[in-house]
Amino acid sequence: MAAFFEVENLTKRFGGLVAVDNVSFSIERDEIVGLIGPNGSGKTTLVRCIIGILSPTSGRVRFKGQDITHWRPWKVVQAGLAGTFQVVKPFRRLPVIANVMVGCLCPRITRRGEWVKSTPVKARDALEFVGIMDRALEPAANLSHGDLKRLEVARAISTEPELLILDEPFGGLNPAETDLVAKSMKRLHKGGRFGRLHSEGPAMLIIEHKLSDLMKIVDKVLVLNYGQLIAYGPPEEVVKDPAVIEAYTGKEVPIA
């Protein structure tokens, strides 16, 4: 039985630089996985290769038994895999709610028979879920960075993914908001209906630098360093791993 989501020997080269080096891991249907690593370790590149914005140099990505390597981004979304961006990419001159309505228009949703009529209601529920409903009618350019991060999440979940990839969802949020978003991630993961917004109870892959918040919600953690996977396991084991400690704090050099 193939795994729900599987990355096999994925490599991405930019000229001579190996940004992602032979990474393999798999995610089960009911897991939340954290992806951590020092700056420049290739986390974002890995995610971009998975969701099809970049094309990997070699290796395979499998999702629900299909080989989705080199698929176009919209086909990947169609298959049920949605991602957010680290550097937010809202549709700046459109109202916030229109940003989310674009997500509700993707064929994955409309093909099921929900026609364009229901999208405003559903978009409103997605905004309600991430907590920025009160700014729904403003242009997205007016939002603060934290709110834009939440808008990214709302846009991703409006396509009803089965695997949700979040690139620094807590970036720019204060501790209280972080807590709120972390809790809503947990709720989303349980699945069910939030008004018109349907949640498949997606598996999640979360890139984050705020480790203390991340460790509370994840089941497993992937650690990347210089593009290589150096640890994969439950958080309490990973934080004790000497290789991970070395990647974050450096090696202990005896003073001669």
Alpha-carbon dihedral sign for residues 139, 145, 146, 149 = positive
Contact 27, 63 (CB under 8 A): no
Pick the binder of other proteins from 29, 64, 91, 201 (CB under 8 A).
91
Is 253 a residue that touches other proteins (CB under 8 A)?
no
Pick the binder of other proteins from 9, 17, 66, 107 (CB under 8 A).
107
Q: Are strands 58-63 and 5-14 parallel, antiparallel or unpaired?
A: antiparallel
Query: Which residues from 143-182 bind other proteins, rule CB under 8 A?
Result: 155-156, 159
C-alpha to C-alpha distances, 174 to 52, 87, 118, 169, 247, nearest whole angstrom: 31, 18, 33, 12, 26
Give 181: exposed, middle or buried? Use CB within 10 Å, 0-12, 13-18, 19+: buried
Pick the binder of other proteins from 111, 117, 190, 251 (CB under 8 A).
117
Measured from the CB atom, the residue of 93 and 193 that comes closer to other proteins is 93
C-alpha to C-alpha distances, 87 to 16, 171, 206, nearest whole angstrom: 25, 10, 15
Q: How far is the CB of 38 from other proteins (least distance, A)?
A: 25
Query: Which residues from 52-81 bind other proteins, rule CB under 8 A?
Result: 52-53, 72-74, 77-78
Contact residues: other proteins, CB under 8 A? 51-53, 72-74, 77-78, 82-83, 85, 89-94, 98, 101-103, 105-108, 110, 115-117, 137, 155-156, 159
